[in-house]
Structures are given as C-alpha cells and as structure tokens.
Structure 1
C-alpha cells in the first residue's frame, strides 16, 4: 500500500528494472489524480526498459484507496538495454530488437575509437544521432516516432526516439544516462548524462539543425548544460532525476569557445578559421553582439556559405560555416 505517487511510481519502475513482465497490482491511497500520477511516474522514469500497457485498470477498494492493475511488456529497446547491461539473450522472435542491437553495435564501432574520453564519446554519439535522424511530424506511426528503432534504423523519430537512441548508445559505451520527460512548449523528452562524475542535461532534438530550421549548421547549445540553464525553457519533475549543477563540460566551455565581447570573439574567430580552414565555427559571446556579413566575408576570404546569430538564455550564439 502506497500513499505517495513518487513511491508507487518508483516501485513500478523497480519492477521494470528487475525484468518483471505481466500483470501487476498496486494499491495507493488518494484520489484518481494519484492513480494517474503513479502510472505517469513509473512510465516516465524507466520508459527505456519497458512499455507499460496502454490499457490499465483501476478500481476503488476503499474510501480513498485504489487498486491499479497494469500490464508490463518488454519493449524492443528494453531487450537491447538488458542485453547490453545484463547480457540477457534477445529472443529469436524479437526481430526488431535483434536488428536494433546490431545497429547500436555498428554505430558504436563507427563512432568510438580507443583512447577517446567519455566527453569525446558522448559528443560523437550525440552528433551521430542528430546527423542520421530526421525529425518527424505527428502523422507518423507511433512506433517510429517514439522508438530508438525509428531514430537509428528508420532514421526518423521525434524527441522520444532521439533520447532513447542516445541512451542506448551511451549505455553501450559504458556511460550512465537516462531519458528525462517533461515539457518544452509541449510534451518533450531529452537526456541526462554523467561525465567525469557530474550529471548534465542534453537535448539532442533541440540541437538538431533540421529541427531548428538551421539545416546546414552544427548546433550544440543544449549539450551538457545545467538544470538552471535548461529550466529557462524546459520543465520537468525533479523527483527521480539527478541534479545537474555545473556547466564545466558544456560544449562551449569545454573547447574554450566562450568570448567576453566583440573584440575577443573576432580575433579568436580569425585565428580559428586561419588554423582550421573549412568547417563550422560555433561560438558564444557573453555580451550582446551580432555577427554581420562584412565581418564574416572578411575573416573567411569570402568562403563562408552561411552564418547566423541566435539568442538563447542570455547567451549570444554565432555559427559561421566556411566552405
């Protein structure tokens, strides 16, 4: 018997983690909102491992006590996750799960080489998911939109699929992560990732240039950010998730691409283009500043194909693409 949504939902998640499948009864005191809250909490925290049946039943068995009967079924993502973590064999009749496991291994081997740091592995896998997955609209089949299979094999998904695919790849790399569910202008999903002992928020969907309509550019403003940073335009239940309190390994901080003003930024960008040649140059300027056509043309010898400015959470972002 539970009298708290979080406890009941966490217990449901515990059963999922233990590999339990089939029908489960949970008793909770409270009103109907507590029934639905239990289902939501259990589903959100461990959706990577299993599907909670879309049809569940509840009945009032006391003045303020409800019995919830729910069916837990293993998802294809769950089979792959448990194969990676626990070595459990995927049943031969689970063809999609087997295909997904093969694709996870293929992507991992193509992206990860000996000697890479966890940060470098995380970045490589993040960029791979973004580069090969097209963001889908709501008219696409649910099992494509919301699955790692959709993101990695069909190469089409929504935020849920991006996040599950990223978590599976990170799990294969031995990096702790989990899917986070909340809202960002509507229902949304992203990740938490643990790098060098610290947890960070990562939103690969919002980092996808196709999703943001910046189709030719790299985009990393939501790579390894803090709760404080992300909470300006994302919301989630804090219970059950890890506190993300640092920006140390944020993409821009890690590479030293944060500049204090126009002069600092322009001199650094000139040197970066001189040394790097063709490529994408992402920067953050902490003072209000907008890159202009004349400057970009000058520092790239007229070889730029695109540039843009953006303002996110009081950070001034600049991307310059040099041919």
Structure 2
C-alpha cells in the first residue's frame, strides 16, 4: 500500500494524539481521522516542515484517503472546508470546518443496535469465516438497495432505521461490524460497471493471512430475482476475479490473491448452520451442505429446493420437486416434512422470525428461539430481580464515571441506580459501601467498605445500557463468558469483587 501519510495505527503506536495541534504533513491523515472519529466540527492544525507538494493537494489527498481508517466516521463526513495561512516559511496553520451525516446520539444508538445484532448472529466460539458469513447474510437479508429514502441514503443511521440505502451504507455497516468483531477490514472506494459516475463502495476483509473482496451490495439480489434472496458471487474474491467489473486504486489496499473460496461463488440462498453452508446445489438444486473449513460438499436430501432459510434447528425450503411447497429439513434427525400444500412465493428471515409468503398472499410467521450465549443458564435477568427488597441509592454520573456511597446503622440490601440506566444490585446485606465505576475502556469497578475492598459470597448484578460498552462488548464477552449476558439492550454482569479490565483499542 503506497501513501506518503503515516498510518493511523502507526501514529497511535508512537504515542500520537490530537492533544497537540502541531504536526507534520505525514501525520495529517491520522490526525484528521482522529478528529472525525470524535465528530469534531471545527478545529485547527499547524503543519511544520517542508511540503513536497502544494498544501491544498496534500489536504485533498488526506481527505480522499481518510476512508482507509475508521471509515464509519470519516465517510459520514458530508462536507468539509478549510482555510490556511502561513505563519513562517515552513509553518502553516489550517482551520477546518466539517459537517456529518450523523450526530453523537445517532452514533450511540447505532453502536448499541449493532452490538445487539452481533450478539444475536455471532458467538465468540465462531470462526472468523463463520462470522464474516453471518454478517454478510444478515445485511443482505435485512436491507434493500434504494436511493430514494427519507433520510440520507448514504448514512448508516438511515440504513438501519429505514432498512434501505445505497452501496455506501452497505459497505460502511459491513466495515463497522467487522471492526467490532476485531476482523481487519477496509472500506473500498472505486467504480463498477453499471454504477455510472457516482462511484461504488465495497469491502476488503482479512481472513487468516489473506485478503479478499466482499461486495455485499451486489450480493443482494432479493429485489431483482423472484426466487432468490442472496448470492455469494461477490463474496471472498481475488483482485483478478472482481476486476471483471470493478475498478479501484490498487496502491491503496492490500493485494487479494487467494482464490481459496471460488467454490462459493456459484451459490444462491445459502444459510449458515454451525460450520456448514446449506444451499441448493447450483446444477441439481438438491439440498446440499458444504463444510466452511474444508470446502467439501455433501448431499443432504434428494429433493429440488430453493430459498434455504435456517431457524430453530430446521432448514425451511421451497421444494420444487413438489410444486414449490414449504418443506422443513431437521438438522439433527435429517427428517424431511411437508408443512403446507400452498405454493411458496418467498422465505425470508430477520432477527426475530422467519416469514413465509405464499402465492395466495397468505403469510406464515415462525418465531426464532433465541438461546443465550452465556454458559451459565441460571443467571437471573433484570425482570427476575425482586426490586422491592432493595433500598435505592442514587449513583452520580460524571461522563464515563459513576460514584455512589452510603452508610447505614443496620444491614440492608441496596440497589445503586443512576439516571442514565447504570445499576448495581448488592445481593448481600451491608451497612456501608462506596462504589466507583469507570467505563472508558473496559470496566474498572471499585467496591470498598471502611476503605477496604469487599468480596461478596452472593454475586452482585451490574447492569449497564449496551451503548455504554458497545465498543468493548466483544472483548468483554470473551473475558466474562460465564458471567455476562446481553438482554433487552443491557449488559448484565455478575461481580463478586472489584474489577479492573482494561480493553486496548
């Protein structure tokens, strides 16, 4: 990858930050990225040193390459302007004014929703490939390509609220989900056949040691094909494969050379079940399974099918061997069952249900059984707590910190609560307690009584709105696999003593 700017990661690794407004031109891209990540609207930078080209060209290059880092933020920058003046021969001050397609409230809401979605469609035990497939399929099945939307069709906030948008929204959501799963991913800007002069956006994702192209937008064919919802033609491609109809600046991105997944590119309407894809065979349409580890296929049933959708341990299909009627294939028993005599028009799935639409416009809804990812099945939830036995004590909020203290003459059960939804239920009677909580990066929880740290035999319940820990949730799930539950847009964690879990970003 060729660029005269220092990368965002290298700049941070050497201790760079926006605390200093004086930089070199090589640091400009990284510093601009940091300001846009904060959604800063106005700021100034002083650039020291000899410039290799006119300043306006360097500034334009920095903005044009800003999508390489933190694309979820940099590409939501809708408009930019700058003014600069020379302070001395090799010293220039630049004043920036930026506007964005999202505000901080929308950012928090989106991160909370994305975190909740990822908690439903992925688990920490999944392989990287399984997670990439799950995210690809979720976006294709959930969203539709549409330029005419109430909000900006380019903004992820519109995309998530209206379930419609353009390629930019598809690729930004995919990139952000990969980022939150700690999977390296680039947002790619280029052109594609049939897209006109407006340009096109897709992604490059890293799997094991290789990089691959993924165009989620072009795999979404539900609006164009009557009997198909999703394909994998533009999933995990090489540079040569996608270059047939896509163009981009090869110097800005890592090369994609492995064709290991070429067998997937002819598949339609697959669903992920464990470490297998289940799909209609491209030639025979027989119900088929392919191992995602070995990429070896095996026949599951000798019936001609389309529209494979998995839920509750069952694959739902339209059986073309029997008049396109609804059938089920049970994963555990391999039992095939006819569920309806009516002709199926479509089978679709969202996070909550499978929706079967018949040719007579009758609709069948199959609710999804959501199983908690936590190992501890006995963990109680918010609704199961008997709040009547607790004495409420207010927690004071200070940005990313919360503080509470009380001192009683007799032992009580106490529930510490803040106005923004942070709660700590102490499940043992105590007389005195001081609690300090920080959620800046990870969880730093101090619980002391008489200036000494306390340890409870009955674990306390820490309840935090999911948006407050959205950036760190995947790491926290790995750290607390047996104690952490995501439920009802909250994170519930069992704690017996003080915690200090620092998450590196």
Contact 2:215 2:234 in 1 (8 A): yes
Which residues in structure 2 correspond to 1:190-201 (within 5 Å)? 190-201=202-213
Root-mean-square deviation (CA, aligned residues, Å) is 4.0
Q: Which moved more, 1:114-123 or 1:103-112?
A: 114-123
Q: Which residue does 1:162 correspond to in 2?
A: 170
Contact 2:46 2:94 in 1 (8 A): yes
Rounded Cα–Cα distance in structure 1 between residues aligned with 2:98 and 2:26: 13
Matched, 1:140 2:143: no
Deviation of 1:120 (Å): 1.3
The change in CA–CA distance for 1:33 and 1:157 in structure 2 (over 3 A counts) is same
1:219 alignment partner, SS class: coil
Which residues in structure 2 correspond to 1:53-202 (within 5 Å)? 54-58=79-83, 69-71=95-97, 76=102, 94-137=104-147, 139-140=148-149, 144-184=152-192, 185=195, 186=197, 187-202=199-214
Contact 1:35 1:68 in 2 (8 A): no
The change in CA–CA distance for 1:17 and 1:95 in structure 2 (over 3 A counts) is closer
Deviation of 1:128 (Å): 0.8
Contact 1:58 1:66 in 2 (8 A): no
Rounded Cα–Cα distance in structure 1 between residues aligned with 2:30 and 2:263: 32
Deviations 1:117-142 (A, max 9, x none): 211111111111111112121x435x
Q: Which residue does 2:43 correspond to in 1?
A: 23
Contact 2:114 2:177 in 1 (8 A): yes
Deviation of 1:162 (Å): 0.8
Deviation of 1:159 (Å): 0.8
If each structure's strand is expressed as a fraction of its own residues, which one has the higher value?
2
Contact 1:144 1:156 in 2 (8 A): no
Deviations 1:143-179 (A, max 9, x none): 5312222222321211111111112222222222121
Which residues in structure 2 correspond to 1:3-14 (within 5 Å)? 11-14=28-31
Contact 1:132 1:152 in 2 (8 A): no
1:48 alignment partner, SS class: helix
1:54 alignment partner, SS class: strand
Deviations 1:181-223 (A, max 9, x none): 1111341111111112211110100111146x12541211001
Rounded Cα–Cα distance in structure 2 between residues aligned with 1:129 and 1:70: 35
Rounded Cα–Cα distance in structure 2 between residues aligned with 1:303 and 1:243: 46
Contact 2:121 2:134 in 1 (8 A): yes
Rounded Cα–Cα distance in structure 1 between residues aligned with 2:143 and 2:32: 32
Rounded Cα–Cα distance in structure 1 between residues aligned with 2:30 and 2:217: 25
The change in CA–CA distance for 1:209 and 1:26 in structure 2 (over 3 A counts) is farther
Rounded Cα–Cα distance in structure 1 between residues aligned with 2:111 and 2:287: 43
Rounded Cα–Cα distance in structure 2 between residues aligned with 1:135 and 1:53: 20
Rounded Cα–Cα distance in structure 2 between residues aligned with 1:131 and 1:26: 47
Q: Which residue does 1:252 correspond to in 2?
A: 264
Q: Which residue does 2:242 correspond to in 1?
A: 230
How many matched pairs? 260
Contact 1:52 1:71 in 2 (8 A): no
Indicate the structure (1 or 2) with the bigger Cα radius of gyration.
Answer: 2
Instruction: Tell me the TM-score normalised to structure 2 length.
Output: 0.44
Matched, 1:214 2:240: no
Deviation of 1:225 (Å): 0.6
Q: Which residue does 2:503 correspond to in 1?
A: none
Structure with more relative contact order (C-alpha pairs < 8 Å, separation 6 or more): 1
Contact 1:221 1:251 in 2 (8 A): no
If each structure's helix is expressed as a fraction of its own residues, which one has the higher value?
1
Contact 1:25 1:67 in 2 (8 A): yes
Rounded Cα–Cα distance in structure 1 between residues aligned with 2:26 and 2:322: 57
Deviation of 1:251 (Å): 6.2
The change in CA–CA distance for 1:250 and 1:108 in structure 2 (over 3 A counts) is farther
Aligned counterpart for 2:73 among listed residues 43, 46, 49 = 49
